[in-house]
A and B are shown apart, each in its own frame.
Chain A
């Protein structure tokens, strides 16, 4: 694999910013329009817009169309946690031909409106700052490719109670070699110790 480099090729930046309402989850605490207007004044931002649900098809399509229409080469999504939707938006920009690592999120839901409902003004300031922070990072983002690793097509299930046995059987039925590990001398776990089981009163073994 060729080593990827963190170089910036000094291309002319064209940043698009999307501020999500997330229904009332975000828009119930701050006015997303204010963040949109704020973002318009940031360097290299050529397009800034609200979106009702950025993660919905309509929201993703809006981003995809704008990438082409405005020739965007960076996308900022001010919405929820990266743990929630980073993969979604990476996929969306990638479908529009942009490298997925040129998309950056600002977490203005879990880490802003949901935590600062008591301080709307503070939440708005924070949403602006987090959006600016993402725009700032985007200036130095570079295209990256995912690293492909080989896969050993063998599974291990640790624990041979009812959940582990069920998992092992399903894996094995799909053609996957599976090692089922159990620390006790017999498989079966707690279920094997039970008499009959609810709600159908079958035998447990």
Chain B
């Protein structure tokens, strides 16, 4: 801690939150909210005179609210930086602190939150985890029985810098407990709350048990567990040491804690599965090892940082094995428990790993980004053809990357600002913009290829690169099986999924079409998904009006973490097709073809499309011939 504060190249900003992140790799602009401390940091010498005279006491979060702090406070005596804060919500404005501070004049009640902009090349997100609140588990009586506490509360009571100076007492009578129990997996590995394992709690309860036993060898300690998980170096030996010290281990999650209202002693009811016996044991005090859960503001941070969340709410890495420190956004990395529960050694290792990932970028003068950007055909822009730029592209662009300088000048894409979502391309009514590497001709040629043979049996699935394509990958990685009639097409964002593609798919005789991208809050392109979603709901209405069978056009938002959903949606879409007799399906496709053609009148005029159609005719012939010979 002190090393970080002392380092000449580290600028520590405490009591500060990230308000907004704009820009891209190498060139982020981050807006920070430096909250008012009402103390001038440069003048405060950390003497604590303000806190001594402050008459107001409120619970201190740092001590798990077991002890008070003043309205003028530091969370702990070793705070870094050692600068006092005035908690204005608690302050009664008696100004005794101002008098106590005296000539230092460090207290300034006129301070306000400051918004500060910083230019940043790369970011590491290490926002950590929070603790599960066991009071929702009625069976353990936390918050009802005074002597049932959480392990974090125990941690403060047992800490020499804590409220009792390390003297572990039980809350009901301030006596030192002699018989203690730890219960593991409280809120974790529990389908009602968090199905996953919290990773460090086994070791954490063993550590606390060893510490208590070292202080007083006569205490009787039992750890209730489901499984003891000690997979890292030195951990199993640590567990052995605990057993050698005489700490008891009882396998089986306790079902109930009851209390003797007189003594406030507790009875832990459990089945010891190794003995096959139902037990009821009396303890002075019980510690609950709470699950690690995402931070309460994790969803908010996920939108601010534009990073997706895995099931359970943790931040989601680009690839769990190959790029575990990378977020899907270039230049943003993860370290520690914000990505999933982790112990200290792993968190430190991840901090180092993330810094090394980030420094690849930060040690370079320039960084390369994908050239899949938008390009305007100026001769097609309405500014050229009609002397009036319509401006739809500029309105669609989530990044303000399109300039229209006057009604007569065609739209211009600022390449460095363009992130390549393709929203402007699909929205342009004149088809005057294309996206490199995802041109209409390329996508049309792909569609024709996959719909060459028995198109009525096929489900054409448009997926955005970041989420739904990732979801489809995860379905495969998890071996979730779904219909092999699916034929996937990848674009960068659902905003690129042009209505022409969908009409063309049905004109070519596709059985069904899936239109899928990310959830709105996960969008890689700020508002790209919203543009895609708006277009999709327009299409839904149109197809409904045309009389298309319900379910042949489906819109789904599937994240890269939702492999199960991808498989389920595809299987449901297959079931829809299976329910329509083949003759009826073919008849419906034929009946709707003229409608589709009508809406595609302008499509052949789009640059490259006629060429793609001519080429596709040859390709389709070849495919059919190959399949016949096979």
Contact = CB atoms under 8 A, between A and B. Distances in A.
Contacts of B625: 41
A160 B15 CA distance: 11
Nearest to B210: A201
A150 B156 contact: no
Contacts of B5: 187
A186 interface: yes
A8 B608 contact: yes
A135 B618 CA distance: 12
B159 A181 contact: no
A52 B370 CA distance: 29
B627 A122 contact: no
A75 B192 CA distance: 50
Interface string A134-176: 1111011110111111111111111111111111111111111
B75 interface: yes
A12 interface: no
A65 interface: no
B128 A179 contact: no
Contact of A195 (B123, B155, B416): B155
A192 interface: yes
B562 to A, nearest CB: 14
A155 B481 contact: no
A42 B356 CA distance: 45
A43 B17 CA distance: 57
Nearest to B473: A110
B627 to A, nearest CB: 7
A130 interface: yes
Query: Which has the most chain B C-beta neighbours within 10 Å: A112, A125, A136, A188?
Result: A136
A6 B375 contact: yes
B18 interface: yes
A56 interface: no
Contact of B453 (A107, A129, A164): A129
Query: Which has the most chain B C-beta neighbours within 10 Å: A112, A156, A161, A201?
Result: A156
Given A42-B626, A168-B10, A157 B126 contact: yes
B368 interface: yes
B622 A41 contact: yes
B235 A199 contact: yes
B390 to A, nearest CB: 21
B211 interface: yes
Contacts of B489: 133
A66 interface: no
A42 B622 contact: yes
A169 B4 contact: yes
A190 B130 CA distance: 9
Contact of B32 (A41, A167, A181): A181
B344 A185 contact: no
Prevailing SS type, chain B contact patch: mixed
A123 B484 contact: yes
Contacts of B83: 185
Contacts of B441: 140
A161 B369 contact: no
B319 interface: yes
Given A149-B24, A161-B336, A180-B13, A4 B124 contact: no
A147 B15 CA distance: 38
B352 interface: yes
Interface residues of B, number: 156
Contact of A165 (B4, B30, B448, B619): B4
B25 interface: yes
Contacts of B524: none
B119 A117 contact: no
Given A118-B481, A150-B365, A169 B128 contact: no
B94 interface: no
Contact of B442 (A141, A173, A197): A141
A178 B9 contact: yes
B369 A185 contact: no
A83 B588 CA distance: 37
B454 to A, nearest CB: 9
Contact of B1 (A34, A165, A174): A165
Contacts of B95: none
Interface string A55-74: 00000000000000000000
Contacts of A132: 449-450, 452, 619, 623
Contacts, number: 431
Given A43-B618, A114-B476, A148-B368, A161 B347 contact: yes
Given A110-B473, A177-B11, A156 B118 contact: yes
A167 B453 contact: no
Contacts of A172: 7-10
A66 to B, nearest CB: 21
B1 A187 contact: yes
Contacts of B465: 82
Contacts of A89: none
Given A154-B118, A167-B355, A198-B238, A181 B128 contact: no
Query: Which has the most chain A C-beta neighbours within 10 Å: B11, B24, B81?
Result: B11
Query: Which has the most chain B C-beta neighbours within 10 Å: A111, A122, A140, A167?
Result: A167
B235 A5 contact: no
Contacts of B526: none
A54 B367 CA distance: 28
A39 to B, nearest CB: 8
Contacts of B416: 1, 147, 149
B63 to A, nearest CB: 8
B40 to A, nearest CB: 14
B477 interface: yes
Nearest to A45: B622
B258 interface: no
Contacts of A188: 1, 80
Contacts of B450: 129-130, 132-133
Nearest to A204: B344
Interface in B603-630: 607-608, 611-612, 615-616, 618-619, 622-623, 625-627, 629-630
Contacts of B11: 177-180
A115 B375 contact: no
Contact of B619 (A117, A136, A201): A136
Contacts of A181: 13, 16-18, 32
B355 A171 contact: yes
A198 B445 contact: no
A164 B484 contact: no
A109 to B, nearest CB: 7
Interface stretch (B183-191, B199-207, B272-280): B199-207
A184 B125 CA distance: 15
Contacts of A9: none
Contact of B375 (A5, A171, A177, A197): A5
12 contacts: A5-B375, A6-B607, A8-B611, A43-B618, A82-B469, A122-B485, A133-B450, A139-B615, A168-B124, A192-B1, A196-B211, A198-B235
9 closest Cβ contacts across the A-B interface?
Answer: A163-B336, A122-B484, A166-B351, A164-B126, A110-B476, A114-B476, A170-B355, A151-B26, A186-B79
Given A140-B615, A171-B355, A200-B234, 7 more contacts: A43-B615, A119-B483, A161-B336, A166-B355, A169-B3, A187-B14, A188-B80
